[in-house]
Amino acid sequence: MLLMLLCIQAVVQVPVVSEATPAPPQNVHVDKWLLTWTPATEERDVTYTVQYRSFDNIVWEDVPACTQTSFHSCNVTITRDESERGCVMLRVQAERHGLTSEPVKACSRFGDSCSPEVRLVARPGSLTVNLSGNHSMVWDYADHVIHKVYYGKEGESLQQKYEYGTSSVTILKLEEGQRYCTKVQYILHEQPVGLESCTRCEVIPVSRHKPKQTDLIVAVVVVISVAFLISGIGYFLVCRHQRIKHWLQPPCEIPEHFLMPFPGRQICSYTSSICEEHCDIISTIE
């Protein structure tokens, strides 16, 4: 009886597993019109369909050569001829037993006529996204085409923060030591056109000259101490100079031998103004 129940339970669970929605593909990118991706899992019976959309079309269409294919790559050169200037957006979705996964948009690993060429330069507190302002789309659309730079910390959604620019864009006030990522797409008449660049990340370096909290506290204490010391010295020099002169005056005492009489010296009394005069007798005058 127990064996029969286990068999029935296994039979019931099989359709549940097979009817689960397949996981979307990963690492979907284009390199010289060759679209490649990797499966999220090693599940069987999973096929993939590639779709494209041109700038002047809002409907996604299937790429004829890449519909319900079991391969993990597709040559999408044909889509270039189906749209204006060959600028299309591409995406891939997984399929199994009539169920489809969420589509994943493709990105361009290297810049081309429809995708920006991006280089990153990280500095303390900022990240500069170097973009080429001399691309072929400018020749046709001039200032109507700009770059839209998405950015954020690694792991965050890159759809929340963005900036516009016609050439290089510098993003300021970034946390040092954190890893930030960016991706860029052309915008024509306020509409995205072509493939966006693949996500690139850089670590924001820490400034070597940034004072630490301990060093800052020590510097403040030293400055306050020096200020008090200078104030105290100035007070004594200005307000207490007489007392300082008195402290610096050496003791003065008259030696006793200064008061002893010498020959030919007048001896005067301190109490009388009369002085005793000593005379020598002259014996001979010639």
Residue % of the chain over a pLDDT of 90: 38
Locate the domains of the chain by residue range: 19-108, 118-203
| 140 exposure class (CB count in 10 Å sphere: 0-12, 13-18, 19+) | exposed
Residue % of the chain over a pLDDT of 70: 71
CA angle 78, 79, 84 (to 5 degrees): 125
Q: What is the pLDDT of residue 144?
A: 83
Q: Report the CATH fold assignment for 118-203.
A: Immunoglobulin-like (2.60.40)
The pLDDT tens digits of the residues spanning 93-116 come to 999 988 999 999 999 988 777 888
The pLDDT tens digits of the residues spanning 163-213 come to 998 888 999 999 999 999 999 999 988 888 889 999 999 999 998 765 566
Strand partners of residue 268: 275
User: What's the mean pLDDT in 146-155?
Assistant: 93
User: What's the mean pLDDT in 19-43?
Assistant: 89
pLDDT exceeds cutoff 80 at 70: yes
Q: Report the CATH fold assignment for 19-108.
A: Immunoglobulin-like (2.60.40)
The DSSP element (H or E) to which 220 belongs, if any, is helix 213-239
CA distance 90 to 60: 9
User: What's the mean pLDDT in 148-170?
Assistant: 90
Same fold, 19-108 and 118-203: yes
Question: Of 14-28, 116-130, 270-284, which one has max mean pLDDT?
Answer: 116-130
Q: What is the pLDDT of residue 68?
A: 93
Q: Which residues contact 41 (CB under 8 A, 6 or more apart)?
A: 22, 23
pLDDT exceeds cutoff 90 at 73: yes
According to DSSP H, which parts of the chain are helical? 2-18, 77-81, 136-141, 213-239, 241-248
pLDDT exceeds cutoff 70 at 78: yes
pLDDT exceeds cutoff 60 at 272: no
pLDDT exceeds cutoff 90 at 67: yes
What is the rounded average pLDDT for all residues in the chain?
A: 80
The pLDDT tens digits of the residues spanning 202-257 come to 999 998 765 566 777 888 888 898 888 888 777 766 776 666 666 666 666 666 66
Are residues 122 and 204 in contact, defined by beta-carbon separation less than 8 angstroms?
A: yes
pLDDT exceeds cutoff 70 at 66: yes
Helix, strand, or coil here: 221?
A: helix
